[in-house]
Structure 1
Amino acid sequence: MNTSFVNPLSGVPDVESPFFDELFAQKEASENVLRVARQLRENGFAIIDFPDAEFDARAERIKTKFHGRFDFDHWRDELWHKNDGMRVQDAWETDEDVRSLASNPQILHLLSQLYGRRAIPFQTLNFPVGTQQPIHNDAIHFSCVPERFMCGVWVALEDVDGTNGALEYYPGSHKFPTYVNEHMGVCSATQHKPTAHYARYLSLWQQLIRKAGIAPVTFHARKGQALIWASNLLHGGSKQTDPTRTRWSQVTHYYFENCVYYTPVVSDPAFGQTHYRQIKDASTGFVQPNIYSGVEVEHAVIERSMPDAFEPYARPKLPPDFDSAVYLQLNPDVAAANADPAAHYLEHGCREGRRWKFL
C-alpha cells in the first residue's frame, strides 16, 4: 500500500477532498469503489445494487410487519392530495430486518472508504408510499463539525416508476455552499417557533436550481436498487399519481465518527446556541459521543447550548386531547407490546405520525 501521502485536510470527506486522487490511490480502492466515489463526487449521488443475499426476504417481511401500522384509507382520502406521505422512524430499534439493512457490513465498509471515517447509521425511515416531499437537502437538519460528514442511503423494497412516487434529485447541487441561518439573515432563537423560517429555505433551493439551470432526474428504481446521496444534494419525492399503489422503501441516514453532530436550522452558534444531536449507532446500539478535533464535548456544554427556546423542537409534548385508550386502540402493535401509550407517543409515535384520536 502507498503510505507516502499525508492528508492535510483530514476534516474534509475523502470523496469531496481536493486530494481525491491521492487519497483513493492510497486506499488501493477497487474499481467498484472508485466508480461509486467518482459518481458521488461529481453528481452528489451514486446508484448501487444493495449487497444483501437475503434482501428479498427482508423486504417482504418488513412490508408484512409494517402494513398494519398505516392507515392507507386515511392517507388516500385526506393526505395524498396534500402531498403528504407516511413513515415509521427509527424502526431499527425494534425490528431486526430494518436494523440489518441499516447496518449492512458492506454498506458500512463502502461508506467508510468514501468518507475516510467509520460510518455510523443513526436514523431509519420506512415508507409505505411516496413521500411527495418538496425539494430539500439534509445538511440543514443533519450537519456536523467538520461539515459534510453525513450521507443517506435509500433502498427500494419494491419496484418504483413514474406513478408511485419516485425519488427526484438535482445532479451537482451538492456542490452549492452549505447555506444555514446566518446566510439567510435569520436568528431562529428569536422566532415564536424555531423552524418558522423553513419556507425561506424551500424558496432558496428553488432559486438556486433555476440559477444553475439544473434539471431534475427521477429514479425509477427496481426492487433492491439503492441510492447513496451526499448531505447537500437537493432531492425530494415526485408526485404519486396513483394513490392505490404502494412504494415501500427504507432510508438510512449516516454520520461518521469523530464529529460534533447538530441541527443547523434551529441553531445560532453566535449566541452560543447549538442544537446538538445525541445520536445512537444502529449497528451497536450505543450512543455516539460528540467529538471535536479528538476531544469529546462535555455534556454540560451541550446542556448550556440547548436553551428553552429550542424546547418545542427538542422535546415533543403530548397533545392536550391525547387519550391513552384511543391511542392503544388505533395502534394495536403498541398495545400488544404492553408499552406505555404516552411514553410511546413521545418517543416514537409523534415522529411516526401515529394517530391519537378518532377523525
Structure 2
Amino acid sequence: MHLKCLCCFASEEEQTKTGNVNNDNNSSRDYPWEIYTLKELLRATNSFHQDNKIGEGGFGSVYWGRTSKGIEIAVKRLKAMSAKAEMEFAVEVEVLGRVRHNNLLGLRGFYAGGEERLIVYDYMPNHSLLTHLHGHLASHYLLDWPTRIRIAIGSAEGLAYLHHEANPHIIHRDIKASNVLLDNEFEAKVADFGFAKLIPEGVTHVTTRVKGTLGYLAPEYAMWGKVSESCDVYSFGILLIEIISAKKPIEKLPGGVKRDIVQWVTPYVQKGVFNHIADAKLKGNFDIEQLKSVITIAMRCTDISPDNRPNMEQVVKWLKGGNLVNRIKQIPNNDEEIETKQSNLKVLSENDRHVIR
C-alpha cells in the first residue's frame, strides 16, 4: 500500500502552500488524482459547516462542497487520526486511484496533512440507496421498478469490474445500501473502499480480520475471516432482496429476536408467492416474471456454501436476462440453515473482533 507515498505527497503540498495542483503538474506525475490544499477544501465546504454535512458513519463525516471552479464535490473527513484511520485512508485512495468504471464512485483527489485526512469524490445529488429505501427520502421519492432494476444491474457491473477486470482483483468487503450512491440519472455508483482487499492473480481467498456490516456478511467470512470474491457476491444477494423489498437486512422482532432478510424471504419463495416480496409502496407496479428472476438470483448469491454461488459476471448476465437459471438451488426445506444463521448472528453480536458499521 502506498501510505508512505501519500504522506510524501502531503508534505510536498504543505511546503508549496499553493491551490489545487494544476492539470499540467498532475499529468507529469504517476498518479491520477489532484492533491488539494486544506485551504481549498475549507473554502469549498464552508469550513466543514454542519449545514454542509450530507452523511456520517463510523469513519467520520461527508460534506458537500463547491470548488472555486464551481465543481460540486463530496469530501469525506476522517473522524480521528489513528493507525486504523490512516490505513483506511491509504487503502481507499490506493484502490480508487486504480479503478475507472461508470458504476464506481470517482475519486477527484485528497488532502493528507497534520491530523487531517480528507478524500474528495464526485458529488452524487441523489444520495445513497439507503436514504431512498429506509431514510428520509423513502417517503418523498418512490424508486419505481425500472429504476430499482437499473440500480441492481449497475451495482452488479461495478462489482464485476472489481472482481474480474481490475488488476489486481479487488474485494470490496462492505457492499451495502449506504455504499451505493446515485447520480443525477439514478445510475448506481459503488462507493467506500476503506475495507477493500487487493487479491493477487491466482489467489482464491485470504484469511483476515473481519470487517463489514452485520446482515450483509457471508457466513464463512463472519465466522472464520475467510474472505473471497464470493463474500461480495453474498452481500450483493442481500442487497438485491433489499432493493426489491425495501426490507432491512436484519429486522428486530418482538421479544428481541432478530431475523435476517434471507430468513424472511425464504418461506415466500418456497410457497411461490413472490408478489409478497415486492415493496408494498410499488402497489403492484412491477414485472412479476422479472421479480421472480431477481429473487432467484439473490437466493443463488446467498447460498450457504460459497462454492454454489455464481460469480459477478454471471450475475450481471442473469440480471440482463441472459440464460437465467430456471430453478432455485439450495433453498432450505427445513430449519437447519435458519438455525445456522441464528447461531451466526449470535456469534457476530457477541464477538468484538468485528467492525460493524
Give TM-score, length-normalised by structure 2. 0.28
Which one has a larger percent helix, Structure 1 or Structure 2? 2
